Amino acid sequence: MSRILELSASELVSKIRTQEITAEEYVNKCYERIKEVEDRIHAFITLTENIALEKAQEIDSRIRRNEKVGTLSGIAVAIKDNICINDVRTTCASKMLENFIPPYDATVIQRLKSQDAILIGKTNMDEFAMGTSTEHSQFGPTHNPHDLDRVPGGSSGGSAASVAALETTISLGSDTGGSVRCPASFCGIVGMKPTYGLISRYGLIAYANSLEQISPIARNVADLALLTECIAGQDNKDSTSIDSGTQNLKNCLVDDVSGVKIGVPEELFGIGTDEVVSKAVWEAISKLEGLGATFSKIKLESLEYALASYYIIAMSEASSNLARYDGLRYGLRLDDENYDWSTAYSRNRDVGFGAEVKRRIMLGTFALSAGYYNEYYLKAQRVRTLIRQELSKAFKDFDLIIGPTMPILPFRLGEKLLDPLEMYMCDVDTVIANLAGIPAISVPCSSSQGLPIGVQMMAPALREDVLIKVAFSLEQHLKPDLELKV
Amino acid sequence: MVETTELKVKIGLEVHCQLTNLKSKLFCSCSSDYRQSPPNTHVCPVCMGTPGSLPVLNRKAVEDAILIALALNMQISNKTIFYRKNYFYPDMPKNFQISQYDRAGGIPIAKNGSKKLEVEKIVHISRLQIEEDPGKISYEGTIETSKSAFVDYNRAGIALVEIVTEPDINSPKEARIFLQKIRSIMEHLGVSSGELEGSMRCDANISIQGGTRVEVKNISSFKEVERALNFEITRQKNLLRTGHRIGQETRHWDEARRVTISLRVKEEEEDYRYFPEADLVPLSISEEEIERQKNSMPELPEGHMQRLMTQYDISRQNAMTLIDNKALAEFFEESAVNYSHPDLLGNWIVGDLLSYLYEMDIELKDAKLMPRDLVKMLELIDDGTISGKIGKELLKEMLISGKSPDEIINQKEMRRISDSEYLNQLTEEIFSSNPQAVKDAIKDPKAVRFLIGQLMKKTGGKADPQLANNLVNEKLKTSKT
Ligand SMILES: [Zn+2]
């Protein structure tokens, strides 16, 4: 394996710009690495080698001609397969979209292209982003680079595993209830779900549109900040996108947490939290205290209902967002002659969707039905409001809220596949930020038997700068003992 | 047995008006001028529901809706939310429609308005909402025999407002009048041209004597509404008369066969699972914006009517009929500036012109008539060149051919005959071939009209009526002796 692949994005950008290495050389190394490990990792669904190499050559020649290049010039970015790239198959890891070729670029893709990033391939995920392990992919699971028998987390498992396994330098995932922070934690890298609206969702194939955000993944905090700045900002194609304000994330890359006030809700260490995980997170908190931060234990009672509220809202939205896959315009289409509309639709949807997707569509349809709407959907929305209110009250006293990203260590493939509820329970700490629309980051803080453990930090809306600053400090002072198995 | 003749009918309407004057669709930048275009050429990822696409509200549609709400005396919400109406049907690219809702936390753009039909009659309007139009499905031949269905998404995503009334309407005629008033308001506001095909459609719910509500869908114009309601009311009355119960159901108006057909009964009613559309942010409407729209409010039908009456001295009835169709009123005004008897002009437009249009089943814009030609025609009557009766024929001809009155008169020799020698000769002929009528006329002055009529007939209505009258009467005098 080439040492080039271990370099950070900013190091690579400067080496490529100074022609110490060429973008083409670097991209070729990425594909060599991909070919070397993919049979064991399976992070990608589609590789875009031709497009990537062409772009790399173009960037190299522009550099040789002394022309201006973008902030990500030549950097390989892997893209979760629910983000549309014009003319590149985008499957959502579903048979439904096995042959879907978007006729347009997502806004984040446009922004990456305009900053001269290199789109290296489309990554594996749970079907339609519904899952916590990437085992629900209709193209087979992804494996954790730190233990091939274990899951990489999900649903952005491919995006995280590809970065961890040095197949790419950075990647984009999407985070609906932890789908980027979970695999970042399980794969020992950094993942951040930004404030709802910070990054345009235009071109992100919806699972639960009031909760999800396209989210950056990187091996270090500086790269994460670089990637975030490149894709953030208002977009007139997404009405829910917001102005990122005055945040300058690069300026936050300083090792100084003095005076930072941290709240530690006991609810984030509830039943089901692995002892080693709690211990690792508390060590991280102590480390921050040693560096000048202060912390207090707090109670946030509404969090008890976060998971139930999250699943009801997410499934309700999913039932509507996924309605368009009926085989007529989008989705798998069986022979439909002699069938009426509804029978033809049912046949297509029965074959096209996997079991977990069908489960969530059915539960969501139920939650929105007349007679149940008030009891489920509306009650879940009320809980959501309570959580927002309780968090915004807490943020009057604290800059940050800290807890585990995942309550447990990466589990074995198949271990939770037959028990959906147990799988859902894994999201208990991550769904909070999605319900509240606030930013949250997962940073590696420790390991146990070679398996990564991540610490999660949440900040008020549009305070990604605080997250980046504290995450950067943690990164300087905690070096988890991890080793790639590929 | 129930006595059904005097049963009280209650009708509520849901009127859908396309905001046809908007340049683009409700949530994307596709052109809304789709009517002349080949199928599926006015589409983009947004209105096709392509995975990953997102709607962005056309703010102009909101401005239009505020105008409409003001014109209907409605309370405008300071915050309004879009909801998803979920149902599987091929005309909906996303299998849900972005609409508004007044329950489950929904807030439509405006509520609680009213529209006066006549002095004593008020129709209350419960809500106004903004929503997207679905696409259009067509078949080869009929639904039953067509091998496949064709879907055209050009219409999908076109901006609509839905006006929902209370069940205050008591007859099919009132329903038609209400729709005419709504159309006139839309046209005066400049937000919708009711004359474009399919731009105004409605669903109606009908209950008889406080009985069960039956909903009739797919009424494509206000010409159809009276037919559809008449059919449905007769159907329900017949059921009651024969001792049947009326069950809650949804029926479909089959325009071709002119019957309503059951779509589904109560037990099969669809659950649309309305819930908020999170891709669109709740919309705030400030007092300032409402004030701004108020100030930019164009002349409304009522004001227009008053002005026509005072400015042109035409009858209230004529003014009312004119403003029901804004194009007609404008045509009147354009003609009136060049004509010295606007009251006469009004009679012609409201009377003959309107009934010809109705007969020919065309809109004024499709007729080839120019205001100056109508004025010219009236002047020809005034100066005696043609008779009023010829004028009527001429008008019809002008509507069809678009030719000027002079051209038609010359072509068809419609000029009035004032040649007394020629007319005298014809009178002689009539007298000799109708001896009995001559005898009657001598005894009874009222019977003279028959003889004059014969003369007019012989000249194809072109004889100068005054001259014809004189000639016949003189001839009678000589016949007496
Ligand atoms: Zn469009």
For the segment A448-479, what is each residue's pLDDT rounded down to a tens digit? Answer: 999 999 999 999 999 999 999 999 999 999 99
Query: How does pLDDT run across A201-227, given as a tens digit for each residue?
Result: 999 999 999 999 999 999 999 999 999
Chain B residues with CB under 8 Å of A374 CB are: 104
Q: pLDDT over 90 for what percent of chain A?
A: 94
Domains in chain B, ordered, with CATH? 9-294 (no CATH), 301-412 (no CATH), 420-480 (1.10.10.410)
Asked if A80 contacts A198 with a C-beta cutoff of 8 angstroms, the reply is no
Q: Hey, which bits of A132-184 come out as E strands?
A: 170-175
Write down the pLDDT at residue A352.
96
Cα of B154 from ligand 1 centre, angstroms: 8
CB contact under 8 A, B278 and A368: no
Contacts of A103 in chain B (CB under 8 A): 45, 50
Tell me the CA distances in angstroms from B353 to B254, B378, B384, B405, one per residue in order: 30, 13, 21, 15
B478 or B293, which is more confident? B293
**Chain mean pLDDT for chain B:** 88
pLDDT of residue B2: 47
What would the two tokens of residue B255 be?
Answer: 């325009």
How far apart are the CA of B458 and the centre of ligand 1, in A? 64
Looking at residue B481, its pLDDT comes to 60
Predicted pLDDT of residue A246: 67
pLDDT in tens, B156-195: 999 999 999 999 999 999 999 899 899 999 999 999 988 7
Spatial separation of the C-alpha atoms in residues B149 and B338, rounded to whole Å = 53
**Does the pLDDT of residue B410 top 90, yes or no?**
no
Catalytic residue among A133, A155, A171, A215: A155
Give residue A62's identity as a one-letter amino acid code: R
- Nearest one of B49, B50, B28 to A104, comparing CA atoms: B50
Measure CB to CB from residue A326 to each of B54, B55, B95 and give the nearest one.
B95
Cis check: omega of the bond before A239, within 30 degrees of 0: no
Domain boundaries of chain A, sorted by first residue = 3-254+409-477
Catalytic status, residue A155: yes
| pLDDT > 70? residue B5 | no
What is the pTM (predicted TM-score) of this model? 0.89
Mutation target for A interface from B137, B266, B269, B275: give the one with most A CBs within 10 A: B275
Q: How many CB pairs under 8 A join A and B?
A: 101
Q: Which of B40, B54, B86, B272 to mutate to probe the A interface, most A CBs <10 Å?
A: B54
User: B50 vs A103: CB contact, 8 Å cut-off?
Assistant: yes
Contact A209 B279 (CB under 8 A): yes
Best of B137, B264, B279 to mutate (most A CBs within 10 Å, chain A): B279
Distance from the Cα of A486 to chain B's closest Cα (Å) equals 34
Nearest to B463 by CA among B408, B436, B423: B423
The reported pLDDT for the residue numbered B384 is: 74
Task: Say whether residue B93 is in contact with chain A using an 8 A CB cutoff.
Answer: yes
Residue B445: helix, strand or coil by DSSP? Answer: helix
Tell me the CA–centroid distance for residue B53 and ligand 1, in Å. Answer: 10
Q: Which residue of A has its CA nearest to B49?
A: A324
Which helix (H) or strand (E) is B115 found in, with range? strand B110-116
Question: Between chains, do A83 and B52 touch, taking CB under 8 Å as contact?
Answer: yes
| Region A3-254+409-477: CATH code | 3.90.1300.10
Give the residue from B401, B398, B472 showing the smallest Cα distance to B438: B472
**β-strand B200-208 against B9-18: which pairing, if any?**
antiparallel
pLDDT band at B245 (very low <50, low <70, confident <90, very high): confident
Does the structure show a pLDDT above 70 at B413? Answer: no
Question: Would you call B52 and A202 a contact, using CB atoms and an 8 Å cutoff?
Answer: yes
Chain B residue numbers with beta carbons less than 8 Å from the beta carbon of A365 are: 273
Centre of ligand 1 to C-alpha B153, Å, is 9
Task: Give the separation between CA A221 and CA A218, rounded to whole angstroms.
Answer: 7
Question: Residues 97 to 116 of B: which have CB under 8 A from any A CB?
Answer: 104-105
Q: Measured in angstroms, how far is the CA atom of residue B26 from the centroid of ligand 1?
A: 9
pLDDT in tens, B27-76: 999 999 999 999 999 999 999 999 999 999 999 999 999 999 999 999 99
**Residue A109: is its pLDDT beyond 90?**
yes
Can you give the pLDDT at residue A212? 98
Nearest chain A residue (CA) to B59:
A239
B positions 295-354 inside 8 Å of A (CB): none
pLDDT at res. A121: 98
Half-sphere exposure of A422 (CA within 13 A, CB side): 8
Q: How far is the CA of B93 from the centre of ligand 1 (A)?
A: 11
- A80 catalytic? Reply is yes
Residue B44 CA to residue B40 CA, distance in Å, equals 9
Q: Residue B204 in contact with residue B219, Cβ under 8 Å?
A: yes
Specify the pLDDT at position B109: 95
- Please tell me the predicted confidence (pLDDT) of residue B461: 76
Question: Contact at 8 Å (CB) between A135 and A356?
Answer: no
What digits encode the pLDDT tens for the residues B315-356? 998 998 899 888 889 999 999 888 888 888 898 889 888 888
B437-475 confidence digits (pLDDT tens):
888 888 887 888 888 888 888 887 778 778 888 888 888
Q: Looking at residue B1, what is its pLDDT?
A: 43
Query: Do A146 and A188 contact (CB within 8 A), yes or no?
Result: yes
SS3 content of chain B, % helix, strand, coil (to 5): 40, 20, 40
User: Residue A377, SS3?
Assistant: helix
Q: Give contacts of A366 with chain B, Cβ < 8 Å.
A: none
Determine which one of A179, A200, A241, A442 is catalytic.
Answer: A179
B90 contacts chain A (CB < 8 A): yes
Question: Residues B270-306: pLDDT tens digits?
Answer: 899 999 999 999 999 999 999 999 999 999 998 999 9
Do the Cβ atoms of B54 and A238 come within 8 Å?
A: yes
pLDDT of residue B119: 65
Greatest CA separation for chain B:
100
Q: Does residue B259 register a pLDDT over 70?
A: yes
Cβ separation B57–A239 shorter than 8 A: yes
Secondary structure element (H or E) that encloses residue A392, with its range? helix A379-397
* C-alpha–C-alpha distance, residues B414 and A92, integer Å: 77
Cβ contacts of A107 on chain B, cutoff 8 Å: none
Average pLDDT score over residue span A400-426: 96
Query: Contact B51/A238, CB-based, under 8 Å?
Result: no
What's the pLDDT at B211? 78
Question: Using an 8 Å Cβ cutoff, are B337 and B312 in contact?
Answer: no
Does residue A73 surpass a pLDDT of 70? Answer: yes
Strand runs (DSSP E) across A112-187, as ranges?
118-123, 170-175
Residues in chain A whose beta carbon is closer than 8 A to a beta carbon of chain B?
82-84, 90, 92, 97, 100, 102-104, 106, 201-206, 209-210, 236-240, 316-317, 319-320, 323-324, 326, 328-330, 341-342, 345, 365, 368-370, 373-374, 377-378
